[in-house]
Chains A and B, each alone.
Chain A
């Protein structure tokens, strides 16, 4: 993919150094012709005397600023020359001498020791091989086991060179995580991540193991059509070819979405009949929720008492035969069971407590608070959290290599989103620690990091979890790809631990924040006007930010997907049940299912359906039928007949 130059290069500029603007080991200045292809972000090469075979110094730099000025001593002299008439200024017989002076930051010096000021020498446009050297990509592009992941094309003056990231620094173990920021709509954050995931899946070296991605779809339908091919133009296809990435949708995509409150229709934008069959319901029960009770507690709730009571429930009550003199015998497996326990506690204290406000050392107020929070989640996240049915989860331990797992929680209550995120990431971490996830590395894509890991605000469980991934994930293979609109509003440690930083079009106010002080004013202006499809990338191997273009992702964009696969209204209860069973076995006839569920309570049907989903039996219909139980004929009251008197009533009157 690295192309070799055909002809001897022609210099496009020359280094200049003055006492006021000297060349240093980290920065230099050069001039070019007025009509030049050089611009901000261009990569150039300086060849000192005796370069090449004679072993002279070669310096690679990236243009960070540009200046133009003429030999005009003061603006007043221009006024005088034009006699105060701007129209005449343009009519001057001679155009003043002008200069295009550029400032470049050094990317690499060759040899690197001793580090010396940049020589005053000729400047060339960098070619493919130069880009690879300049960005130190040669270290991971070549060799027996290359780890290069195509990120985009560096473009300047008609030249295009692929830019690669080092998998060891993108997905661990040397460094990890990627953070992408930019304004909504124009920064192409999601598109960039989609392209990069495709690139990772195609180029992640097999000797580094298996990799999968878990994407949280927290808004809109951007991630709902990753398995569908999107429209690409010739330019995009050319870029794909140049980068060595096959243009196509993801081959293995698994969708998960909670159910709606009815417990049978999926709460996702991917409801078109052609696609909805691929969406797996995400349903959790009490056990799954109780492990992450901390997520449900807000700052005011965090106290030792509530924690202690939740721990008590988890350790002593959940899934155990619990017997207590006050509340009797309970086996708590579902929210409904837990609610029964709470009722029994309150009733017991009221009737037999003899004025006591505590049960097993837990104050009634604490018990009420925990009950309130737990019942609250089953109400606010109805569909995700089942009151009384079994759960349906991601295939922990069996994640597939190069597969994307999309968890669509766009329409879920924020509390539920937090819960899903906390639980999924925790499970990923648990399994990665045990090395039994099924893959060696997982990319977790989270949009709206401003919301989940804000720089200020309450110290939530989700933020703590994101910090934990950021700081320790690389050792486990748990990699965070985070996106946000305002990087300055994301927690410093989350952003700072991202080894690869990507910037789309930025807001000027955001660029004025201290985090961008290292960028030159020209680079900031370029960032503020960056076209769609162009990004600025910082990577541990690159000593300066680099601008790259990437092709449109080869998947259907959310908006296009919604046009091609419009939403379908929620199905009636029997149809929705039939659809879910048909998804398990396409031979099942929907009418049979409808007959089965006719006249059955929805709760019974939901419970049977959940059990069938969870068991994944060979014959889903039979299993469902069995789980549903035999139909009990309605107990029709017999017509009440009069009891015949022992003796016939005489017709005799009194």
Chain B
């Protein structure tokens, strides 16, 4: 059995390590981004139309990332990361089947800090190496935050590549639903049958009464469509949609933000699309804690990807007790 690049650099002098950085190294909150209303002149709650029709064929895309510190060269951590994305297609039989998938393995470190032999082994292994600048060195947390950003970007890149490949061969009546931003890709942002479903609400688009109206949206209602004014992303239309009643929970309970093509047709279809997505509440994607916002097919893609991820990158259930002789 061929040695992994991790074994090779450990053999070359890197001190072995095995721990998954804490989740508290979360993404930084984004800033407030202004938005322009494109449906009406005030942000309103719209009831959803009856008789929503679910498209016969829908592709769902999601990605995962796993990372772990596998060694130290002096005080410089060496991170092994796995990022993957998959598209699971739902046809007339309502069952999900994998249509496409893509994955990457990364070695993230400050290469210059490695012993020469370890550098050679890393090069020989062919693994994608992300060389962090010396400015990210210092306390481990500083390095790990930077590594985390690189892992995020790698995952987003894999998702984007796969989404663009998928959308190129989408059938005439087929839709693509992406877990996350649509506005990261021009191809996606301009496609008439691509949707982004965003579960996290770090970016704030409204203030005052509009914000209150968005955050207290009743169940099975959507807001007016708006155009986020972000310069970093492609122009898309967006709206909030409440999947489950938030009363008795928190304000974000069951609240998702939808992104779709910035086109007049989207204004017409926003209600029907929202009604369709509300239907996607069932089956409930428990036991995932985010089930109130997580569509079951997206949950299914995640489950699929997790089942295929390298097992040694998953957090070990055992404690981090010192290793015994064997």
Which residues of A line the B interface, CB within 8 A?
71-74, 77-78, 80-82, 88-89, 91-97
Question: B191 interface residue, CB < 8 Å from A?
Answer: no
**A residues less than 8 Å from B58 (CB atoms):** 93
- Can you give 23 contacting A-B residue pairs, CB < 8 Å? A71-B303, A72-B283, A72-B286, A74-B286, A77-B284, A78-B283, A81-B282, A93-B90, A93-B279, A93-B280, A93-B297, A94-B90, A94-B96, A94-B283, A94-B297, A94-B300, A95-B94, A95-B96, A96-B283, A96-B296, A97-B96, A97-B300, A97-B303
CA separation between A78 and B282, bound complex, in Å? 8
**A residues less than 8 Å from B54 (CB atoms):** 93
CA separation between A94 and B285, bound complex, in Å? 11
Answer whether A92 and B283 are a contact pair too, CB < 8 Å, given A71-B303, A97-B300, A97-B303. yes
**B residues less than 8 Å from A73 (CB atoms):** 286-287
Question: B320 interface residue, CB < 8 Å from A?
Answer: no
Answer whether A81 and B284 are a contact pair too, CB < 8 Å, given A93-B54, A95-B93. yes
CA separation between A135 and B280, bound complex, in Å? 50
Which residues of B line the A interface, CB within 8 A?
54, 58, 90, 93-96, 279-284, 286-287, 296-297, 300, 303
CA separation between A96 and B281, bound complex, in Å? 12
For residue B52, give the distance in angstroms from its CB to the closest CB of chain A: 10
Interface centre among B296, B297, B303 (most CB of A within 10 A): B296
**B residues less than 8 Å from A82 (CB atoms):** 282
CA separation between A522 and B320, bound complex, in Å? 43
Query: Interface majority SS on A: helix, strand, loop or mixed?
Result: loop
Closest to B93 in A: A95
Answer whether A88 and B300 are a contact pair too, CB < 8 Å, given A93-B94, A94-B90, A95-B94. no
For residue B19, give the distance in angstroms from its CB to the closest CB of chain A: 23
Query: Interface majority SS on B: helix, strand, loop or mixed?
Result: loop
For residue B311, give the distance in angstroms from its CB to the closest CB of chain A: 13
Closest to B295 in A: A94
6 additional contacts (CB under 8 A) given A74-B286, A95-B94: A72-B283, A81-B282, A89-B282, A91-B282, A92-B94, A97-B300
A80 touching B280 by the CB < 8 A rule?
no
Answer whether A88 and B95 are a contact pair too, CB < 8 Å, given A94-B90, A97-B300. no
Closest to A97 in B: B300
CA separation between A89 and B297, bound complex, in Å? 16
**A residues less than 8 Å from B283 (CB atoms):** 72, 77-78, 81, 92, 94, 96
Answer whether A95 and B281 are a contact pair too, CB < 8 Å, given A71-B303, A73-B286. no
CA separation between A97 and B304, bound complex, in Å? 10
Answer whether A77 and B286 are a contact pair too, CB < 8 Å, given A95-B94, A95-B95. yes
**B residues less than 8 Å from A97 (CB atoms):** 96, 300, 303
CA separation between A95 and B94, bound complex, in Å? 5
Interface centre among B54, B58, B286, B303 (most CB of A within 10 A): B286
B282 touching A88 by the CB < 8 A rule?
yes
**B residues less than 8 Å from A88 (CB atoms):** 282
CA separation between A372 and B202, bound complex, in Å? 106
A80 touching B303 by the CB < 8 A rule?
no
**A residues less than 8 Å from B282 (CB atoms):** 81-82, 88-89, 91-93
CA separation between A74 and B284, bound complex, in Å? 10
Closest to B55 in A: A93
Closest to B286 in A: A73
Closest 4 A-B residue pairs measured CB to CB? A81-B282, A92-B282, A73-B286, A81-B284
**B residues less than 8 Å from A89 (CB atoms):** 282
CA separation between A74 and B287, bound complex, in Å? 9
Closest to A82 in B: B282
CA separation between A348 and B195, bound complex, in Å? 118
Closest to B88 in A: A94
Closest to A71 in B: B303
For residue A165, give the distance in angstroms from its CB to the closest CB of chain B: 44
CA separation between A73 and B286, bound complex, in Å? 6
**B residues less than 8 Å from A72 (CB atoms):** 283, 286
For residue A279, give the distance in angstroms from its CB to the closest CB of chain B: 65
Answer whether A94 and B94 are a contact pair too, CB < 8 Å, given A81-B282, A81-B284, A88-B282. yes
**B residues less than 8 Å from A71 (CB atoms):** 303
CA separation between A95 and B114, bound complex, in Å? 50
